[in-house]
């Protein structure tokens, strides 16, 4: 796969995380489940076709490429699930460790891909008390997938013509089908949530743009609540780096900056009747950086 194809896979991964993160809202949209099913099926085919290009078995030997795909999908599936739970628990270190694209494991060398899969597996297994949506049985599933790939990863290479017929030539039509499914998902999300959850629409829009450009923009999202987690009307977020002041949206109580520089930044978060907070954060390149600020009532 070339760099643009890898960028597309990263984008599909980002859209998959969006679907998981907003599953409850998306379930209320008629026809969305059908488009998501198309998307998931075709993305799986793309991953399979891509792996055929570098498949390393022949004859009757069990295909290591497909066992690698199974390992990658198994690890990333539960890692995505864990990212959502870790973020909700405000464990950003764990969330960052688990928030990896499919290519993080898939494009690594054989030995390194196994090690990366094991590292992510250990991060999940060591934090099951936080990741309550992952079970010991799920960890066993991951272990089995890693063992299966590790046992066949060093088998010999298939012929180039077979790779081309089953791999490279299968990719372009699948990309077109997947991009259509993404476009349909975006149109549905926009039509149902543009006026009530614009930040959610922007999030999918950003992933959709990456499909075509291969560029990941850096976003900053700040949600402002009181001690009990309730919405504070209206709050402001001042970006010290450029003196820009943003006001939270009434319905989501959220500030969404679609494009922001990466680095270390200070944001002053305030609201009438509440104690001002200096939010000091690291904004990471090519990610949707989300922060929740709790304000205390002033005396």
Q: By residue range, what is the domain housing residue 270?
A: 217-295
Residue 144 and residue 37 share a domain: yes
Please indicate, yes or no, whether residues 91 and 34 belong to a single structural domain of this protein.
yes
* pLDDT tens per residue across span 23-67: 889 999 988 998 988 888 887 766 655 444 444 444 333 456 777
Are 83 and 223 part of one and the same domain?
A: no
**Considering 210, 226, 251, which residue would you say is the last residue of a domain?**
210
DSSP codes of every residue in 142-184? HHHHHHHHHHHTTPPPPPHHHHHHHTGGGHHHHHHHHHHHHHH
Write down the pLDDT at residue 163. Answer: 41
Give yes or no: residues 200 and 227 share one domain.
no
Mean pLDDT on 67-85 = 88
- Is the pLDDT reported for residue 141 higher than 70? yes
Same domain, yes or no, for 86 and 29?
yes
- Out of 152, 177, 210, a domain closes at 210
Radius of gyration of the chain (CA): 21
Rounded Cα gap, residues 255 and 107, in angstroms? 35
Q: Is the pLDDT of residue 97 over 70?
A: yes
Q: Evaluate if residue 116 carries a pLDDT over 80.
A: yes
Domain boundary among 184, 210, 236: 210
pLDDT at 162 over 50: no
**Residue 269: which CATH number?**
2.60.40.1120
* In the predicted structure, residue 91 carries a pLDDT above the cut 90: yes
Q: Are residues 106 and 75 in the same domain?
A: yes
Rounded CA separation 296/299 (Å)? 9
What pLDDT, on the 0 to 100 scale, is given for residue 248?
A: 83
The residue that leads in pLDDT, 230 or 294, is 294
Beta bridge partners of 102: none
Q: Mean pLDDT throughout 169-181? A: 68
Q: Are residues 231 and 206 in the same domain?
A: no
pTM score, two decimals? 0.41
- Both 23 and 164 in a single domain? yes
Say yes or no: 161 and 143 in one domain: yes
Q: Could you give the number of structural domains in the chain? A: 2
Distance CA 95, CA 290 (A): 11
Residues 204 and 227 in one domain: no
Same domain, 243 and 172: no
- Whole-angstrom CA distances from 159 to 6, 63, 165, 210 are 23, 13, 10, 34
């Amino acid at each position: 796969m070339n760099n643009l194809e890898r960028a597309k896979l990263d984008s599909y991964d980002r859209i998959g995380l969006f679907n998981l993160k907003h599953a409850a809202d998306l379930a209320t949209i008629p026809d969305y489940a059908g488009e998501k099913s198309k998307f998931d099926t075709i993305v799986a085919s793309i991953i399979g076709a891509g792996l055929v290009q570098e498949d390393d078995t022949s004859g009757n030997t069990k295909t290591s490429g497909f066992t690698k795909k199974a390992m990658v999908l198994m690890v990333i599936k539960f890692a995505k699930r864990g990212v959502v739970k870790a973020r909700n628990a405000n464990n950003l270190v764990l969330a960052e460790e688990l928030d990896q694209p499919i290519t993080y494991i898939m494009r690594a060398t054989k030995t390194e891909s196994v090690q990366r899969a094991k590292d992510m597996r250990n991060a999940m297994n060591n934090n099951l008390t936080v990741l309550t949506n992952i079970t010991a049985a799920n960890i066993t599933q991951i272990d089995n997938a890693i063992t299966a790939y590790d046992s066949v990863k060093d088998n010999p290479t298939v012929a180039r013509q077979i790779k081309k017929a089953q791999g490279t030539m299968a990719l372009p039509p699948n990309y077109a089908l997947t991009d259509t499914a993404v476009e349909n998902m975006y149109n549905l999300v926009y039509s149902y949530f543009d006026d009530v959850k614009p930040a959610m629409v922007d999030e999918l829009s950003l992933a959709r743009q990456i499909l075509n450009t291969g560029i990941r923009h850096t976003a900053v999202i700040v949600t402002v609540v009181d001690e009990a987690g309730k919405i504070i009307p209206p709050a402001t977020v001042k970006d010290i780096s450029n003196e820009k002041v943003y006001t939270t949206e009434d319905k989501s109580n959220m500030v969404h900056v679609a494009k922001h520089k990466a680095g270390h930044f200070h944001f002053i978060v305030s609201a009438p009747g509440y104690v001002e907070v200096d939010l000091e954060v690291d904004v990471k390149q090519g990610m949707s950086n989300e922060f929740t600020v709790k304000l205390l009532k002033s005396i």
